[in-house]
Chain A
Amino acid sequence: MSGAWDVGLGGLDEDAFLQCCELFLQHARSLDDGWSWGRLNGSDEGFLKKTVLVTGKINTEAPDGTSRPAEDLDMLGEDVQDGGPDDAEGTPAPPSAAAVIRYEYHVLYSRSFQTPTLYFRASTLDGRSLSLEEIWDGVHSNYRQRLLHAPWDSITQQEHPLLGQPFFVLHPCRTQQFMSPVLEAARNQNRSLNYIVSWLSTVGPAVGLHIPLSYATASSEPSGLDPD
């Protein structure tokens, strides 16, 4: 992957992005863990994509004040009571309940930041898109405090560059900053590294996307070196 690190110290160029995605997908197929390549007809540009179903919390009050029927899960069988960081302002949090949520993740290349970017959206099973507030409820507690420190800069809603639909985005402006020591260490030790794996394992869990441990060792080698 020559030239992969010639962009800013913590970034990668688009060719390297595509190569890393391909290696990532090879391992994904061996695990059958749901990743695929998305592309628009007639376009060369593409993105990694994956959809998962998770349980989480949704608001049960519709914007006009009437109660929305909550999805009732026998397995969970408990209503998540309101009460969270939002209560600080004194207004009561809207009633909420546990529900099955469909999360869709896309990894696209950002030419302006020269890094990958994580786009995601979430909806209930009956097709209602989750609000920004509900998205924040789903942020993993390990990252929550830091993300909330600059909420308007960390998770934003933007139009998907290829699909034109609204998605949430983990803002990539600091990506090069936290990736550069990782890349530098790999360079110094002459060790190959899959940028996508390193980056996605770092940011993904914040928004519910977990990368299995086997990616750590599998996907920086070209195919043909498959262990039994």
Chain B
Amino acid sequence: MSEAGESPTDNPKDEPSAVQSPPEDIGSNEEKKKIDVLLKAVGDTPIMKTKKWAVERGRTVQSLSLFISRFLKLEPSEQLFIYVNQSFAPSPDQEVGVLFECFGSDGKLVLHYCKSQAWG
């Protein structure tokens, strides 16, 4: 379902990698370093071609937001918001690993993103 991700940024190593196949099972007791994130668009926001990403647990919401904004080529005036449970915006400093612990299910974290001219 998911294809190889493009490398839109300077440091492809640091960016979320697209899930090309089901994540390897390294053993049920071992914490995987990356978590699976499913990105869903809200409202008029463009849909990302690649929706499923493997993201380092320590990545912040802000970092992910920046990645999505660049991927979607948002205008400077457009703000991106990310939601868990489709209704709550976690702090930009929040780590996705923590979000996964609290809101993940079926082995993935579903995040909704929405672009908006939120200010002014």
Contact = CB atoms under 8 A, between A and B. Distances in A.
A37 interface: no
Residue among B44, B98, B102, B118 with max Cβ neighbours from chain A (10 Å): B118
Interface in B83-120: 83-94, 98-99, 102-103, 112, 114, 116-120
Contacts of B119: 143, 146-147, 149-150, 153-154, 170-171, 174
Contacts of A213: 84, 88, 90, 94, 98-99, 102
B21 interface: no
Q: Is the interface of A mostly helix, strand, loop or mixed?
A: helix
Contacts of B118: 146, 174-175, 177-178, 202-203
Nearest to A209: B91
B48 to A, nearest CB: 16
Contacts of A149: 76-77, 119-120
A115 to B, nearest CB: 12
Interface string A57-97: 00000000000000000000000000000000000000000
Contact of A216 (B62, B76, B103): B103
Interface string A136-148: 0000111101110
A215 B120 contact: no
Q: Is the interface of B mostly helix, strand, loop or mixed?
A: loop
A54 interface: no
Interface residues of B, number: 35
B42 A181 contact: yes
Interface in B61-87: 61-62, 65-66, 76-79, 81, 83-87
Contacts of A173: 120
Nearest to B63: A142
27 contacts: A140-B92, A141-B62, A142-B61, A142-B66, A145-B76, A146-B76, A146-B118, A149-B77, A150-B77, A150-B120, A154-B120, A177-B116, A177-B117, A178-B116, A181-B44, A182-B87, A185-B42, A185-B87, A193-B87, A198-B89, A201-B89, A202-B89, A205-B92, A213-B88, A213-B94, A216-B87, A216-B90
Nearest 6 A/B pairs, CB to CB: A153-B120, A181-B43, A216-B88, A150-B120, A142-B92, A154-B119
